[in-house]
Structure formats: structure tokens, C-alpha cells
Amino acid sequence: AEALQFADNSFDLVTCRIAPHHFGNIPAFVRETFRVLKPGGLFGLVDNVMPGGADGDYCNAFEKLRDPSHGRCLSMAEWHSELEGAGFTILREETIRKPMEFASWAKRHDETVKAELRRLLWEAPAGAAAYLAPAETDGNLTFKLTEGLFLAQKPETA
């Protein structure tokens, strides 16, 4: 994703869904996407997003404990900066709250890791707790993640 093997101005549309937070160099990915799009081309992006600052760091650490391949989820503001910094015009954006069932989300881990993930959910600082929104009903632990959706365009004159 950071060194695409395609010629400049090759595509009318590039999409990427729930992957950039695993990439080692998100700015390079965004620049490469811009490079391979034709002028006027569209970029559809969906990825998990986190709050900014220390709350985002906490939420990213929570995710990384469950999935060591997790790099870093950006905030919506950081995505704006990356997309606009690469030259894109953002045509549309939105966020979607995604309910997660803890048991299925953490099923591949042993009880020690699951216990630590539960602790991180329940003991999260206020901002991270508001983002993760842990809840338990009838012994079923749930929380929420947020997906950011962007439709961006490479300018016709690029």
C-alpha cells in the first residue's frame, strides 16, 4: 500500500476498507493513492478512527493488545490532515458507531489477555471510556468502535 506497482494516473477509483490502521506508513499510502488516481479520480476510504491525544493512545493500545498487527488508528482530524496534505479534496465524510460483542471480538485469546482487555475497558480514562462505551447486559460485555468514512477526490488539475 505504501509503494503501489502502478503507473501514475492509472485509476478512476481506489477504495480501502478497514486496513490503514495496519499500515506502517499511512502518509505514504495516502500519497501513493493520490499518485495512482487519474485527475478527478475518487478515493473511498473506511477505517476505524480513534479520539485524538491521550485517549486515542489508550484506545490504540487496547486494540493492539488484542491484535498485535494493529498499528495506529488515526482521528478524523488526522485523516483530514493526511488527505488534504496529499492534495485530495474531501467531498464527504461521516462516522458510524459500530457495536462490538466482547466475547467474539476477543475469542482468540486466553483468559489472561481477555481479563486485561476487560480491565482496560472498565478502567479507561473518561475520554477513552466515552469513546469505547463499555456496557454489560445479562453478562454480555459490549463496547463500541467508530469507523470513519471518506470520499475524496483528486483535483482535475492535479
| C-alpha–C-alpha distance, residues 75 and 53, integer Å | 9
The total number of residues written for the chain in this structure: 158
What are the pLDDT digits (tens) for 14-32?
999 999 999 999 999 999 9
What are the pLDDT digits (tens) for 33-87?
999 999 999 999 999 999 999 999 999 999 999 999 999 999 999 999 999 999 9
Assess if residue 17 is contained within a domain: yes
All cell numbers assigned to 136 = 454489560
Assess if residue 50 is contained within a domain: yes
Assess if residue 49 is contained within a domain: yes
Any idea what DSSP says for residue 11?
E
Assess if residue 132 is contained within a domain: yes
What are the pLDDT digits (tens) for 117-156?
999 999 999 999 999 999 999 999 999 999 999 999 999 9
b vs e for 20-41, b when ≥16 Cβ sit within 10 Å of the residue's Cβ?
A: bbebeebeebbbbbbbbbeeeb
Assess if residue 87 is contained within a domain: yes
Structural domain for 146, as ranges: 11-153
Assess if residue 94 is contained within a domain: yes
CATH of residue 46's domain is: 3.40.50.150
Assess if residue 4 is contained within a domain: no
Does the pLDDT at position 4 exceed 90? no
**Count of the separate structural domains present in the chain:** 1
For residue 105, what are the contacts with CB-CB under 8 A and spacing of at least 6? 66
In percent, how much of the chain has pLDDT > 90?
Answer: 95
Assess if residue 1 is contained within a domain: no
Total-model pTM: 0.92
